[in-house]
Amino acid sequence: MVSALSHSSTDLDAVIFDYNGVIGLQPTTPMWSGLAELAGWRTEDLTHFQTAFWSAREPYDSGEFDDTDFWTAVLGRRPEPALLTRLRAVDTALWTRTDHRVVSLLHQARQADLPMVLLSNAPHPVGDALDASDWRGLMTDALYSARLGMNKPHLDTYRNALAATGVGDPGRVMFIDDRPDNCEAAARLGLRTLHYTGSPADIERQLGTKSAAAFPSS
């Protein structure tokens, strides 16, 4: 049983959460392989597929590329509509699995009336899927890069997220992300930061709960 967070026990007024790598689980190798196979890449070429995938992801995340643009860049050809639909669905599924331990913490923070904002680099299909998730209602707001038209670590993404918290002082807001470059950018605006490396107990400590031992390390 996870004890409820006490908003009064911490000097935080709000928290901004990254999604992937914090609330969301990273895709497994078999999941990557399944997407690569669907895209027509051989199993032994998985590394090359991932290189092509990530090379085109930034403009997809920012909304510059639509689904067709992104998958055309990855495949090297324009996908047929049926294939595009399947690629979009499988890709979205890769990024929408959650860490139940962190989701439990979101519930505790909500019980303590601690405002929480999601700030994620995510293309439109992923953002839409996250908005439809059962935990999304725990968040005060959710900001996705494709809707903002810019990716983290652009400083305006953090400014937008801070505004969404309703807190004027960035020093009273915690930003949690698994990428150090994103944390460094947030810190430049005065936000407090936690570079998350996979232990929910680290989030617990930042939020002021005393039940850090409630979570195993894996």
Dist CA 107 CA 211 (whole Å)? 14
Confidence of residue 59 (pLDDT cuts 50, 70, 90): very high
At residue 7, the pLDDT reads: 41
- pLDDT at 217 > cutoff 60: no
Average pLDDT, the chain: 91
Residues 6 or more apart whose Cβ sits within 8 Å of residue 151 = 58, 61, 62, 121, 145, 157
- pLDDT at 187 > cutoff 70: yes
Q: Are 121 and 145 in contact (CB under 8 A)?
A: yes
At residue 213, the pLDDT reads: 36
- pLDDT at 147 > cutoff 80: yes
At residue 10, the pLDDT reads: 58
- pLDDT at 201 > cutoff 90: yes
pLDDT, mean of residues 122-131: 98
